A and B are shown apart, each in its own frame.
Chain A
Amino acid sequence: MARFILRRVLLMIPTLIAISIVTFIIIQLPPGDFLTSLASALSSQGETVNQEALDALRRQYGLGQPIWQQYLIWMRNILFHWDFGDSFEYNRPVSDLIGNRMLVTIGISVGSLLVTWAIAFPLGIFSAVRKYSKADYVLTFLSFLGLAIPEFMLALVLLYVSSRYFGQSVGGLFSPEYVDAAWSLGKFADLLSHLWIPVLIIGATHTAGLVRIMRANLLDELNRPYVVTARAKGLEERKLLMKYPVRLALNPFVSTAGWTLPGIVSGEAVVAIVLSLPTIGPLLLQSLRSQDMYLAGSIILLTSVLTVIGTLLSDILLAWLDPRIRHL
């Protein structure tokens, strides 16, 4: 097991390097460099541009040096000083801006993943056991519908319905009276009452695919001779189902977490923008619009890295569930 984890962690390194290179390219894509943006932002605010300060920044970020050297400097600052550069729009270090929002993003994403599993697991089993029943057709249709509705659309409709018929806003993470309040039980309850909406929206759209996978896997297992044998021996149907076929069908379920997680993180960004949640999604959109590239790049880098780590964790979970995987 330890060898498996070590191998997977080592394999992750090239992926992380590739992510950082792609991110760096995205940062470099807009015309001009960070300092021209900064200088124009400062002068548009009516502040005088201090040439000395600009030169100091130019040295710090290695601007004007060959592009690969700039990349190395950027990586060194991140790895050794936890310095992602400055956001010229907010005039603050990027790491200050993202910290809290990143936590909320992680919370919502992990919550959505758990909700997705919690819904897809029983529905998939039900759909497979009652194959070609009316309920199976309804579930199949619903899961196709879930795949067809873009997350932002679901969020918009929910926004409309709740403001039209319930006269209540679903945006944000807290009700107005709790936004600046200190943490208390009431605030926590308020957070939960707001959090279930994005979690459900993101969960619903990703449940669809997982139900299909679970159903297909279980159907394959249900036809196996060992099931027939167990049934012939008089094993109780419920016990028979849960103890053997479901356990085997569960493996591909966990292994697809590697694809589900990037989807959920993507969906979280979009839903957060529609519902104006204080996560990194709206910040990314805003920074891209104003070409605040160090901020935008850092967000893309961090979300990608966290997704890759999440995938690694799900792989380790899978290897723990199914020892055969460790030798692949």
Chain B
Amino acid sequence: MDFEQAELETLARPDAVGEPAGANTADSTRPAERTIYVASQWRLMWWKFKRHRLAMIGGVIVILLYLIAIFAEFLAPADPSKVQSTYTYAPPQLLHVVDTRDGWDWGLFVYGYTSKIDQATLSRTYVIDETKKIPVGLFVKGPEYKLFGVIPWDRHLIGPKDPTQPMYLLGADRLGQDLLSRLIHGTRVSMSIGLIGVFISLILGLILGGISGYFGGTIDTVIQRVIEFVRSVPTIPLWMGLAASLPKTWSPLQVYFGITLILSIIGWTGLARVVRGRFLSLREEEFVTAARLDGSSEMRIIGRHMMPSFFSHIIASLTLAIPATILAETTLSFLGLGLRSPINSWGVLLEEAQNIRSISQAPWLLLPGGLVVIAVLALNFLGDGLRDAADPYST
């Protein structure tokens, strides 16, 4: 009797359950056995996560991307919407550290441009001119901005010492805007749309998936039907239809939230499935039964006993849902139905690269696509590692 009582108590506390059973003593990479027995669930997860090397790399990249998103104004050398018709499609400049033409002259610099007129098509193209030298500095004064929207500042991490000189480290687009600056500001929009979109999906998924899994019965059947319906429809045509119906008069910010909402209306089903599955399996667990027998209220059972044991799974699924949202936004904006200039997002930037003529003239316009791939890869690896770590007791 005493033993059973003790077991029930342990079962009622999911934080404490399972360490002895789950500890893998044969594995030499783990810390000493003693530490495993007393380690908390979160610590075990961290140990497991650390062993997944790709996930660690992914995690670092994701953190870097969000840092870029936060400090976009400081990191971008120029104002992303500044149009300079004198430098349309200017090719990328190479950043030089030392000038060796005349001894060893240390200091950052780039070469300037000269324009060349193509006699056949009469179009103006720009080529790097090695006779012009534009000194580049760190923490230089540039266009003014407000850091975090409040602190007025004018310093930029990198930029030409003379702000009137051109510096296009990643080239310029059709309007002579700096691609690097647009890319940095686009990182903010694309990464945040992933985060906000997934957050809305999470709320929908938690509510609907939770109701579905916890109560079961007819309401479960209805919600499952809805999920199946949403999943059986090809998403892109549906997204296109919904996105195209956003009023043309909306401000950029309204469009941003409109698109985010549309993406999450269709994206919540995956999360709802995870939540429901977890609820279904946990509902039958002994520690939940024990809590119910102890007279805990439904809300307390869900919040105190069930949530902690599937919280980690939710985080993992969330991380895996972000890249899907980013890809969807990119595709919609690429087709011209999502975000529009003056908002910069990776998809908006790629819209410039839509036809073969602009790609062959300015292949660097495809660079935002590379960043999309890197971000999605990093998030997928991170999510994969988190999913493995979410269940630290399995081998």
- Taken residue by residue from 286 to 328, chain A's Cβ proximity to chain B (1 for < 8 Å, 0 otherwise) reads as 0011010000110110011001100100000000000000000
Whether A164 touches B360, Cβ cut-off 8 Å, given contacts A288-B244, A304-B234, is yes
- Cα distance A316–B336 when bound, in Å? 39
| A159 within 8 A of partner (CB) | yes
Whether A311 touches B337, Cβ cut-off 8 Å, given contacts A31-B247, A160-B363, is no
- Cα distance A263–B232 when bound, in Å? 9
What is the CB-to-nearest-CB distance from A121 to chain B, in angstroms, rounded to a whole number?
A: 23
**Count of B interface residues, CB-CB < 8 Å:** 40
Contact A288–B323 (Cβ < 8 Å): no
Q: For residue A151, which residues in chain B have a CB less than 8 angstroms away from its CB?
A: 331
- Cα distance A81–B331 when bound, in Å? 36
Contact B360–A145 (Cβ < 8 Å): no
Contact-residue bracket for chain A: 35 or more
Contact A266–B231 (Cβ < 8 Å): no
- Cα distance A304–B231 when bound, in Å? 11
Contact A145–B244 (Cβ < 8 Å): no
Q: For residue A132, which residues in chain B have a CB less than 8 angstroms away from its CB?
A: none
| B225 within 8 A of partner (CB) | yes
- Taken residue by residue from 47 to 68, chain A's Cβ proximity to chain B (1 for < 8 Å, 0 otherwise) reads as 0000000000000000000000
Contact A157–B366 (Cβ < 8 Å): yes
Contact A160–B323 (Cβ < 8 Å): no
- Cα distance A171–B354 when bound, in Å? 13
| A149 within 8 A of partner (CB) | yes
Q: B229's contact among A15, A145, A149, A273, by CB below 8 Å, is which?
A: A15
| B180 within 8 A of partner (CB) | no
Residue of B with least CB distance to A18: B229
Residue of B with least CB distance to A109: B234
- Cα distance A266–B236 when bound, in Å? 5
| B122 within 8 A of partner (CB) | no
Q: A26's contact among B234, B241, B353, by CB below 8 Å, is which?
A: B241
| A144 within 8 A of partner (CB) | yes
| B136 within 8 A of partner (CB) | no
Chain A interface helix/strand/loop/mixed: helix
Residue of B with least CB distance to A157: B366
Contact A270–B233 (Cβ < 8 Å): no
Most buried by B among A29, A150, A151, A300: A150
Contact A284–B373 (Cβ < 8 Å): no
Q: B244's contact among A18, A274, A291, by CB below 8 Å, is which?
A: A291
| B56 within 8 A of partner (CB) | no
Q: For residue B244, which residues in chain A have a CB less than 8 angstroms away from its CB?
A: 30, 288-289, 291, 296
What is the CB-to-nearest-CB distance from A167 to chain B, in angstroms, rounded to a whole number?
A: 11
| A110 within 8 A of partner (CB) | no
Q: For residue A150, which residues in chain B have a CB less than 8 angstroms away from its CB?
A: 327, 330-331, 334, 369, 372
| A156 within 8 A of partner (CB) | yes
Residue of B with least CB distance to A145: B377
Q: For residue A145, which residues in chain B have a CB less than 8 angstroms away from its CB?
A: 373, 377
- Cα distance A306–B369 when bound, in Å? 31
Whether A29 touches B231, Cβ cut-off 8 Å, given contacts A152-B334, A156-B366, A160-B363, is no
- Cα distance A50–B320 when bound, in Å? 56
Q: For residue B242, which residues in chain A have a CB less than 8 angstroms away from its CB?
A: 26, 29
Contact B373–A311 (Cβ < 8 Å): no
B-contacting residues of A (Cβ < 8 Å)?
14-15, 18-19, 22-23, 26, 29-31, 144-145, 147-153, 156-157, 159-160, 163-164, 169, 171, 258-259, 262-263, 265-267, 269-270, 273-274, 284-285, 288-289, 291, 296-297, 299-300, 303-304, 307-308, 311
A-contacting residues of B (Cβ < 8 Å)?
225, 228-229, 231-238, 240-242, 244-245, 247, 323, 327, 330-331, 334-337, 350, 353-354, 356, 359-360, 363, 366, 369, 372-373, 376-377, 380-381
A-B contact pairs, 6 of them (CB 8 A): A152-B350, A153-B369, A160-B360, A160-B366, A270-B236, A284-B240
